[in-house]
Amino acid sequence: MQTLKGPALFLAQFAGDAAPFDTWEGICRWAADCGYAGVQVPSWEGRLFDLERAASSKGYCDDWKGQAADLGIEVTELACHLQGQLVAVHPAYDAAFDGFAAPEVRGNPAARQAWAVDQVEKTIRASANLGLTAVGTFSGALAWPYIYPWPQRPAGLVEAAFDELAKRWRPLLDLADENGIDLCYEIHPGEDLHDGISFEMFLDRVDQHARAKMLYDPSHYVLQCLDYLDNLDIYAERIGMFHVKDAEFNPTGRQGVYGGFQSWVNRAGRFRSLGDGQVDFGAVFSKLTAMDFGGWAVVEWECALKHPEDGAREGAAFVRDHIIRVTPHAFDDFADGGTDEAAIRKMLGLGQ
């Protein structure tokens, strides 16, 4: 067993135009002050990170990582969720997702996809230059508009979507393998990889690629009424990253999983700050420890009610209190009387 590393914080929800969230030094200093030992960095966030330079210059990576280390912060992983989303976009979502892309490729789906693939490639290369071993991402989605089987889906529709999704991601998985990087897909509504079954459908089409892993986030499973503890047992070998995020699901006679088109605060299912939701994190941390997960416990703040800075500070303490320092010996070692083969045979009544 290994002791999980942490606490760490995903910076995507915190980077902004106001100090201290507008510079790399400022946000690292703030994270350390909140009690974090590490940060997970969104590769698209130019205020904090130069992806172009990082993909080609180990010297830049060493300096950038060194600035964080001087403040007591370790870079845990890079993430390319927004770029990964654009690897596969159904036309129904073109306008909604165009804002994720560089201005020069907006309004041009083919150019946007090529840009997204290049961004994921650069994130992989940058991660290798930083000495990291995993990248967090979204899979994108071609089949998501057809998630509910009404009207009836024509035979082969879903299969064709997953064939194409695998075709787009296979070269990226191979590049990740060449660079010693796992691609960890956040299993998330809005992505074609949104639960265990859909992840398995993808794995089948990429020949069970060793670099295709999961970014485990139990909050997304609470909102779709999926057993998030059983999920850990099933996919223990595929868990590559861990987001510590809470959620609650409170269905009523008026709404359930689909939320009735309500805002986050008025939905039956909503994200909450750590400890304010329904996730049994004692069980989650216990299972991850028992299955020998040696990665980082990364807080991702998303809450419909609480201020993000309060959620961040509380989250650091919450994770620190839940990380299990693994025992170096069994609790009953004190009673070990010592045995040998002769003693064992005698205990079994087998004689000499």
pLDDT (tens digit, 9 = 90+) per residue, 10-59?
Answer: 999 999 999 999 999 999 999 999 999 999 999 999 999 999 999 999 99
Strand residue runs (E) in 50-175: 74-79, 134-137
Q: Residue 130 has what pLDDT? A: 98
pLDDT (tens digit, 9 = 90+) per residue, 146-200?
Answer: 999 999 999 999 999 999 999 999 999 999 999 999 999 999 999 999 999 999 9
Q: Residue 340 has what pLDDT? A: 85
Q: Three-class SS of residue 281?
A: helix
Asked if residue 337 has pLDDT above 90, the reply is no
Q: Are 5 and 297 in contact (CB under 8 A)?
A: yes
d(CA 295, CA 283): 17
pLDDT (tens digit, 9 = 90+) per residue, 273-296?
Answer: 999 999 999 999 999 999 999 999
Phi, psi angle pair for 62, to nearest 5° = -65, -45
Asked if residue 229 has pLDDT above 80, the reply is yes
**CA–CA distances in Å: residue 185 to residues 79, 137, 174, 274:** 10, 5, 15, 22
Strand partners, 42: 79
Q: Residue 277 has what pLDDT? A: 98
pLDDT (tens digit, 9 = 90+) per residue, 293-318?
Answer: 999 999 999 999 999 999 999 999 99
* Mean predicted confidence (pLDDT) in 107-114: 98
- Secondary structure letter of residue 351 according to DSSP: -
Q: Buried (b) or exposed (e) across 75-86, using 16+ Cβ within 10 A?
A: bbbbbbbbbbbb
Asked if residue 335 has pLDDT above 70, the reply is no
Q: Residue 347 has what pLDDT? A: 86
d(CA 58, CA 242): 26
Q: What is the pTM of this model?
A: 0.95
Q: Provide the percentage of residues in the chain whose pLDDT is more than 90.
A: 92
Return the ∠ at Cα 33 (arms to 32 and 39), rounded to 5°.
Answer: 25
> Which among 208, 153, 142 is positioned nearest to 177, based on CA atoms?
208
Asked if residue 264 has pLDDT above 80, the reply is yes
Strands 182-186 and 212-216 come out as parallel
Amino acid identity for residue 22 in this structure:
D
Q: Three-class SS of residue 108?
A: coil
| Topology given in CATH for the domain delimited by 5-347 | TIM Barrel (3.20.20)
